[in-house]
Amino acid sequence: MLKRKDIFEYVKERYDVKPDYPWEKSLNFAALRHKNNEKWFGLIMDITEDKLGIKSDRKIDILNVKARKEFIGSLRKNENIYPAYHMDKNNWVSIVLDYTKDLDDIRDLIAESYELTT
Protein backbone atom coordinates (compact mmCIF):
# COMPACT_ATOMS: atom_id res chain seq x y z
CA MET A 1 0.00 0.00 0.00
CA LEU A 2 1.33 3.38 -1.05
CA LYS A 3 1.27 6.20 1.50
CA ARG A 4 0.87 9.92 0.89
CA LYS A 5 4.32 10.50 2.44
CA ASP A 6 5.80 8.35 -0.37
CA ILE A 7 4.27 10.70 -2.95
CA PHE A 8 5.45 13.78 -1.02
CA GLU A 9 9.02 12.44 -0.81
CA TYR A 10 9.04 11.58 -4.52
CA VAL A 11 7.76 14.96 -5.76
CA LYS A 12 10.16 16.78 -3.40
CA GLU A 13 13.11 14.82 -4.78
CA ARG A 14 12.04 14.84 -8.45
CA TYR A 15 10.40 18.28 -8.83
CA ASP A 16 11.45 20.15 -5.66
CA VAL A 17 7.77 20.51 -4.73
CA LYS A 18 6.29 20.42 -1.25
CA PRO A 19 2.57 19.81 -0.63
CA ASP A 20 0.38 22.87 -0.25
CA TYR A 21 -2.72 22.78 1.98
CA PRO A 22 -5.02 25.43 0.48
CA TRP A 23 -8.31 24.63 2.25
CA GLU A 24 -8.90 25.45 5.91
CA LYS A 25 -11.85 23.07 6.14
CA SER A 26 -10.02 20.19 4.45
CA LEU A 27 -6.67 20.02 6.20
CA ASN A 28 -5.81 16.62 4.69
CA PHE A 29 -6.25 17.82 1.10
CA ALA A 30 -2.79 18.53 -0.32
CA ALA A 31 -2.16 20.21 -3.69
CA LEU A 32 1.04 19.50 -5.60
CA ARG A 33 1.77 22.70 -7.49
CA HIS A 34 4.38 23.74 -10.01
CA LYS A 35 7.01 25.90 -8.35
CA ASN A 36 6.57 29.03 -10.48
CA ASN A 37 2.81 29.09 -10.98
CA GLU A 38 -0.45 28.20 -9.35
CA LYS A 39 -1.28 25.19 -11.52
CA TRP A 40 -1.30 21.91 -9.73
CA PHE A 41 -0.31 18.57 -11.18
CA GLY A 42 -1.63 16.49 -8.31
CA LEU A 43 -4.13 16.58 -5.50
CA ILE A 44 -4.08 14.16 -2.57
CA MET A 45 -7.28 13.78 -0.58
CA ASP A 46 -8.75 11.46 1.99
CA ILE A 47 -12.29 10.55 1.02
CA THR A 48 -14.70 7.71 1.63
CA GLU A 49 -14.76 4.93 -0.95
CA ASP A 50 -18.40 5.59 -1.83
CA LYS A 51 -17.30 8.88 -3.46
CA LEU A 52 -15.70 6.69 -6.17
CA GLY A 53 -18.69 4.38 -6.49
CA ILE A 54 -17.27 1.69 -4.20
CA LYS A 55 -19.84 0.26 -1.79
CA SER A 56 -18.08 1.23 1.43
CA ASP A 57 -17.71 4.23 3.66
CA ARG A 58 -14.10 3.39 4.58
CA LYS A 59 -11.75 6.38 4.33
CA ILE A 60 -8.98 6.10 1.72
CA ASP A 61 -6.25 8.32 0.30
CA ILE A 62 -6.43 9.16 -3.39
CA LEU A 63 -4.16 11.04 -5.78
CA ASN A 64 -5.72 12.95 -8.65
CA VAL A 65 -3.52 13.38 -11.72
CA LYS A 66 -4.12 14.78 -15.17
CA ALA A 67 -3.88 12.32 -18.06
CA ARG A 68 -4.14 12.50 -21.82
CA LYS A 69 -7.76 12.24 -22.93
CA GLU A 70 -6.99 9.34 -25.25
CA PHE A 71 -5.68 7.26 -22.30
CA ILE A 72 -8.39 8.03 -19.72
CA GLY A 73 -10.58 5.07 -20.72
CA SER A 74 -7.81 2.49 -20.66
CA LEU A 75 -6.41 3.87 -17.40
CA ARG A 76 -9.77 3.41 -15.70
CA LYS A 77 -9.61 -0.31 -16.48
CA ASN A 78 -6.92 -0.62 -13.78
CA GLU A 79 -8.25 -1.81 -10.44
CA ASN A 80 -6.95 1.24 -8.55
CA ILE A 81 -7.79 4.02 -11.04
CA TYR A 82 -11.22 5.70 -11.14
CA PRO A 83 -12.92 8.69 -12.74
CA ALA A 84 -11.55 11.73 -10.98
CA TYR A 85 -13.19 12.82 -7.77
CA HIS A 86 -13.62 16.61 -7.53
CA MET A 87 -11.94 17.23 -10.92
CA ASP A 88 -12.82 17.16 -14.63
CA LYS A 89 -13.38 13.47 -15.35
CA ASN A 90 -12.43 13.95 -19.02
CA ASN A 91 -8.89 15.00 -18.12
CA TRP A 92 -8.15 13.68 -14.63
CA VAL A 93 -8.20 10.31 -12.85
CA SER A 94 -8.18 9.34 -9.18
CA ILE A 95 -5.61 6.77 -8.10
CA VAL A 96 -6.44 4.97 -4.86
CA LEU A 97 -3.17 4.97 -2.95
CA ASP A 98 -4.45 2.28 -0.57
CA TYR A 99 -4.77 -0.11 -3.55
CA THR A 100 -1.44 0.82 -5.19
CA LYS A 101 1.47 -1.48 -4.39
CA ASP A 102 4.37 0.92 -4.88
CA LEU A 103 5.45 4.18 -6.41
CA ASP A 104 6.77 2.54 -9.58
CA ASP A 105 3.15 1.72 -10.49
CA ILE A 106 2.24 5.42 -10.83
CA ARG A 107 5.52 7.29 -11.34
CA ASP A 108 4.82 7.74 -15.08
CA LEU A 109 1.32 9.07 -14.39
CA ILE A 110 2.73 11.70 -12.02
CA ALA A 111 5.33 12.70 -14.62
CA GLU A 112 2.69 12.95 -17.34
CA SER A 113 0.46 15.08 -15.13
CA TYR A 114 3.40 17.35 -14.37
CA GLU A 115 4.12 17.78 -18.10
CA LEU A 116 0.46 18.28 -19.07
CA THR A 117 0.03 21.05 -16.51
CA THR A 118 3.21 22.98 -17.30
Structural domains of the chain ordered from first start? 4-116 (3.90.1150.30)
Residue 38 confidence class, pLDDT cut points 50, 70, 90: confident
Using the predicted structure, report yes or no on whether residue 37 has a pLDDT greater than 80.
Answer: no
Region 50-68: what's the mean pLDDT? 96
Give the integer Cα–Cα distance in Å for 29 and 83.
18
Question: Is this prediction's pTM over 0.85?
Answer: yes
